[in-house]
């Protein structure tokens, strides 16, 4: 299925260091996904997209991201390679697509944007065709009319916008110097997942042949904070793979070979990816299944999503068969011994936060 990549840095990075130059860059993953298990769709050739925010605020440009997408395979787009060599940004979303819903068109390419917000998805909403009417009837006309393509992912973004609105934040207003707030965006994301779960359960009720889980690896940013989920509507299956890496600098030590440099405990560079960009095992930490990751002020926060699909005992193994059958699993990179990962529950009051320092 799809692959996505997120970069958030204290300083801007040349897009080529993420998209084209690494030996296992996201563009190379689109045709040479070495960690892919699914052989039914061995390439991510159904289009691509890259979105980024300008390094300095410019009233003429506004606070929204610039997005370049196309239906051609990412590895065969000369304009993308040219832009990557001449563009810098401190906040980047990139996505390569292997379609499961929607035709091949630019309107179906991720990332999707709405004013200052940007969103992408890796996975699928099970039985979406049965839920589409519920999506449409639930949301305000403004977000219903926003949808231009035919993917479950864009409808999920429209639902997220509606949830943000219902929580008291107007997604169309400027995000401001501090954005909408990471807690507000996280709450809207959790509410989005809750609606999808409820509707999925209602639509598959009594139909044993359509009880496959939804894979909901969502990513959203307002240009300041980033919220990413690794989630599946199952207690026994693994979600689509997701990893993160932090350090002081993402460096090229040999042509095409990159690693995360850690000179101190600062998290000047944060990467989140469906599939690691390097083969340095120590560079990457696996995000646990059914967790939500937050990037706020160059700090990574991890929380479990405490619902009916949460496993209270982390030693209980999950099967990767379903995610693997969809081409959504890469080998697990275990957290380093020096990484303290104790995941507190998201509580309505007195919400505790955890800073992950690598």
H runs (alpha helix) in 78-218: 78-84, 128-138, 141-144, 152-166, 182-203
Catalytic residue among 2, 69, 163, 203: 2
Q: Are 343 and 302 in contact (CB under 8 A)?
A: yes
Q: Please list the helix, strand and coil fractions of the chain in percent, rounded to the nearest 5, in that order.
A: 25, 25, 50
Q: What does the alpha-carbon distance between residue 84 and residue 271 come to, in Å, rounded to a whole number?
A: 17
- What's the first-to-final CA gap in the chain, in angstroms? 29
From 76, 85, 116, 117, select the one nearest 18 (Cα to Cα): 85
Burial (CB count <10 Å: 0-12, 13-18, 19+), residue 132: middle
DSSP letter at 50 equals E
Q: Are 88 and 15 in contact (CB under 8 A)?
A: yes
Q: Are 188 and 160 in contact (CB under 8 A)?
A: yes
- Residue 315 tokens, joined: 């030693």
Return the SS3 of 132.
Answer: helix
Note if 2 is an active site residue: yes
Q: What are phi and psi of 88, to 5 degrees?
A: -125, 145
Catalytic residues: 2
């Amino acid at each position: 299925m799809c692959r996505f990549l997120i970069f958030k840095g204290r300083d801007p990075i040349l897009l080529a260091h993420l998209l084209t130059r690494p030996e296992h860059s996201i563009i190379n993953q689109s045709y040479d996904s070495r960690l892919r298990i699914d052989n039914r769709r061995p390439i991510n050739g159904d289009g691509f997209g890259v979105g980024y925010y300008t390094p300095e605020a410019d009233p003429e440009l506004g606070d929204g991201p610039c997005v370049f997408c196309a239906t051609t395979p990412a590895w065969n787009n000369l304009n993308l390679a040219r832009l990557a060599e001449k563009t810098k940004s401190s906040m980047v979303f990139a996505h390569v697509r292997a379609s499961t819903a929607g035709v091949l068109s630019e309107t179906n390419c991720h990332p999707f944007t709405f004013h200052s917000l940007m969103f992408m998805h890796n996975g699928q909403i099970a039985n979406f065709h049965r839920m589409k009417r519920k999506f449409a009837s639930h949301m305000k006309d403004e977000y219903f009319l926003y949808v231009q393509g035919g993917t479950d992912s864009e409808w999920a973004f429209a639902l997220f916008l509606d949830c943000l609105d219902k929580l008291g934040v107007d997604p169309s207003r400027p995000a401001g110097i501090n954005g909408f707030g990471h807690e507000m965006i996280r709450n809207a994301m959790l509410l989005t997942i809750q609606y999808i779960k409820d509707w999925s359960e209602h639509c598959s009720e009594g139909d044993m042949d359509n009880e496959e889980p939804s894979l909901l690896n969502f990513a959203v940013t307002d240009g300041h904070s980033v919220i990413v989920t690794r989630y599946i509507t199952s207690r026994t299956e693994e979600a689509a793979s997701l990893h993160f890496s932090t350090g002081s600098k993402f460096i090229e030590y040999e042509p095409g070979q990159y690693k995360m440099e850690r000179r101190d405990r600062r998290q000047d560079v944060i990467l989140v990816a469906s599939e690691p960009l390097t083969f340095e095992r120590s560079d990457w930490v696996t995000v646990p299944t059914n967790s939500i990751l937050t990037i706020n002020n160059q700090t990574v926060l991890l929380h479990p999503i405490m619902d009916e699909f949460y496993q209270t005992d982390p030693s209980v193994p999950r099967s990767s068969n379903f995610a693997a059958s969809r081409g959504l699993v890469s080998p697990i990179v275990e957290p380093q011994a020096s990484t303290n990962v104790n995941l507190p529950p998201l509580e309505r009051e007195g919400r505790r936060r955890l800073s992950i320092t690598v």
